[in-house]
Amino acid sequence: MSHVLLITSSPRGADSLSTRFATEIAEHIKQRKHGTLTVRDLATSPVPHITPAYIDGRNAAPDSRTAEQAQAVALAQQLIDELKTADVIVLGSGMINFGPSSQLKAWFDHVTWPGVTFSYGSGGPQGLLSGKKVYLVVATGGVFSAGPYASFDFQTGYLLHLLAFIGLGDVELVRVEGTAFGPDAVKAAIANAESAVQTLLGKAA
């Protein structure tokens, strides 16, 4: 039995294609594995941006933290515990101004914790989360996988880097792109994403 963690972050609500396909993947894996599912919707329940209370609190001894610091650190620990508990992580991200949403960035700022999710050694940084499968769904209005705007995609590479940095390097990527070019383009983007998802889920069976 597997435990699946679904993280969505798009502010587009029910219209979000990253949320739609990430949810489809998570639900399918949960059912196939007879597993359990935790959902963290960063759009409807955003994680606060980090503050001095978080930065100072995580560096302080637990018994010396102020109440504000303890609260900030407890939230980060809760988010990290969700990652540690999960066997499969499904992450949905819609591009905002060429990068991930600020909600998703805030989540990464909480879970990228030295000594807890990564460390530095003689060989450089080492991710401390391992043995987990990640499905990353990125949605974009333009086409960024290739062509003249590929260099403008500051979302996909950034997310892949941060995931690998904390040890989550086993990632399957699904792109939903080109939806800003009219109804036909939307249909084509959805069809391509559906095909990619079915192929991935078939491989994972």
Residues at the annotated binding site for FMN? Answer: 10, 16-18
Residue positions in the annotated binding site?
Answer: 10, 16-18
Answer positive or negative: Cα dihedral of 28, 112, 46, 157. negative
State the SS3 of the chain. Answer: CCEEEEEECCCCHHHCHHHHHHHHHHHHHHHHCCCEEEEEECCCCCCCCCCHHHHHHHHCCHHHCCHHHHHHHHHHHHHHHHHHHCCEEEEEEECECCECCHHHHHHHHHHCCECCCEEEECCEEEECCCCCEEEEEEEECCCCCCCCCHHHCCCHHHHHHHHHHCCCCCEEEEEEECCCCCHHHHHHHHHHHHHHHHHHHHHHC
